[in-house]
Amino acid sequence: MKTPEVVVDIVLLSKQGLSGRQIAKRLGISRETVRKYLHDPDSALRGRKARQRPGKLDPYRETIQAWLDEDPGYKATWIYDRLVALGYAGSYDVVKRAVGAMKEERTRIAYLRFETEPGNQAQVDFGDFQVDLPHGSSQKYYLFSMILGYSRRIYSELVRRCDLVTFLDCHIRAFEFFGGVPREILYDRMRNAYLGKLAGRKRFNTSLVGLAIHYGFKPEVAPAYAAWVKGKVERPYSFIREGFWRGYGFTTLQAANRDLQAWLSVKEKRIHGTTYEQVCVRFERERPFLGALPRHAYDTSERLYRKVHKDCTVRLWGNSYVVCHTLVGKQVILRVKNGAVRIFHDDRLIVRYELASGRGHLVQDKRFYEALLKDRAMNARKYSLPVKVRGKGRARHMRPDGYEHKVQVRPVDVYQQVAEASL
């Protein structure tokens, strides 16, 4: 099972026109693996988490990064000697490779920061904005911003929360606003995006990786303690805060976002202080280099996998939700968003329920109990009638082995009561 980040690389290289053989050679994997993940890229997200043993250097990587932030000229020998003094018991070669990779990453990201090609990169960040309320209190809102590195065109949106689902939904609206997708998006070390390193490999939030696979971009993370790398997206926060927000008469979130978009639309016609061109003019040059939008938007619902119990229910956060009896023993996917849960099997929607509040509730749809009653009645008619056999002897009851669904058996009147109560 390959990591989700490897699957992102496979998908991106395929979008660039590389063949399966070329992708396999470049990434050092088999062509069968390439075909597998191109056919079903989501399999890397629902598979079992890889168990990787941390390396001896892993506890010291942040220390190395801090030293390089202090002075990028520190050599691997200097760093190795000080790590040994701190208790490092690994080899010098491991330190040398790690230091070289860190310096290469810093150089690459610095280049992207200053020399961004059209369609190559966008930067994303969240910032908090305060609204003064009567009686001296205040309300906090969050500003999501995505800025294209080449043209400096900005998509910004005020939201109530900065949770994962909101974070992903803002990405989708930004892509639709731009009419395309950049090849790479740079983040800081926010938990919605970056989870840290394991065995020297960057790990991104699984939901973000799913979004990246669907839209065809590569997530990247800025080096620690290097805010200058994300200056393109961080400077506009001051630009918006001072130019639009200060003194703004806030009424509703919807009105504020409408006014913000109108204000940014006017500002796109200004001469940018770094590029010395109008933002709108540069964007027209950048637009053809953006990746095409997929046919369907990504489903940002939280995905959970559950097995259907013998009583025809799945459990979710202390409550039980009834599904069709034919799914007993099978795995279904629960997609949770906006106070509702949708239950799928083999990409087919089975039922949608409003989430129950509290714990210990049974949430049901009478159709499933009626189907179970009908199925049991049909089985009784079909398989419980006496069947005459040729020759002498008595009639006997015939029932094929394994036909009946293994569901929890209750008196028929119980199901009838549940069905009537659901009317």
Domain residue spans of the chain: 4-113, 121-289, 301-423
| Inter-axis angle of helices 92-114 and 76-85, nearest 10 | 120
Question: In a 3-state reduction of DSSP, which class is residue 396?
Answer: strand
Confidence of residue 68 (pLDDT cuts 50, 70, 90): confident
pLDDT at 409: 52
pLDDT at 50: 46
pLDDT at 344: 94
pLDDT at 200: 66
Contacts of 237 (CB under 8 A, 6+ apart): 125, 127, 143, 145
Nearest alpha carbon to residue 308 among 411, 417, 406: 406
Q: What is the C-alpha to C-alpha distance for residues 171 and 165, in angstroms, rounded to an integer?
A: 10
Does the structure show a pLDDT above 50 at 76? yes
**When comparing pLDDT for 389 and 135, which is higher?**
135
Q: Is the dihedral of CA 358, 359, 360, 362 positive or negative?
A: positive
Does the structure show a pLDDT above 50 at 236? yes
pLDDT at 114: 52
Query: Average of pLDDT values for 129-158?
Result: 91
Q: What does each C-alpha distance from 351 to 247, 307, 342, 344, 394 come to in angstroms? A: 48, 15, 6, 7, 47
- 200-223 per-position pLDDT tens digit: 678 888 889 999 999 999 998 876
DSSP assignment of 107-154, as one string?
Answer: HHHHHHHHSPPTTTEEEEEEEEEEEEPGGG-EEEEEEEEEEETTT--E
Pick left, alpha or beta for residue 312 (phi over 0 → left; psi -120 to 50 → alpha; otherwise beta). left
Confidence of residue 408 (pLDDT cuts 50, 70, 90): low
**When comparing pLDDT for 6 and 65, which is higher?**
65
Query: Average of pLDDT values for 66-79?
Result: 86
pLDDT at 189: 81
pLDDT at 51: 47
Query: Average of pLDDT values for 255-275?
Result: 91
Backbone angles phi, psi at 101, to 5 degrees: -65, -40
Q: What is the C-alpha to C-alpha distance for residues 281 and 275, in angstroms, rounded to an integer?
A: 11
Does the structure show a pLDDT above 80 at 341? yes
H or E segment at 104? helix 92-114
Does the structure show a pLDDT above 70 at 367? yes
Does the structure show a pLDDT above 70 at 422? no
CATH of domain 121-289: 3.30.420.10
**When comparing pLDDT for 172 and 73, which is higher?**
172
Share of the chain above pLDDT 70, in %: 79
**When comparing pLDDT for 250 and 229, which is higher?**
250
For the beta carbon of residue 253, count every other beta carbon within 10 angstroms.
15
Please give the order of strands across the beta sheet that includes 313-316.
Answer: 313-316, 319-322, 362-363
Query: Average of pLDDT values for 354-365?
Result: 92
Does the structure show a pLDDT above 80 at 183? yes
Query: Average of pLDDT values for 246-260?
Result: 93
Q: Average pLDDT, whole number, for the chain?
A: 82
- 109-134 per-position pLDDT tens digit: 554 455 578 999 999 988 889 998 87
Q: What is the C-alpha to C-alpha distance for residues 349 and 334, in angstroms, rounded to an integer?
A: 10
Does the structure show a pLDDT above 80 at 230? no
Answer whether 0.85 is exceeded by the pTM: no
Share of the chain above pLDDT 90, in %: 41
**When comparing pLDDT for 405 and 8, which is higher?**
8
pLDDT at 107: 62
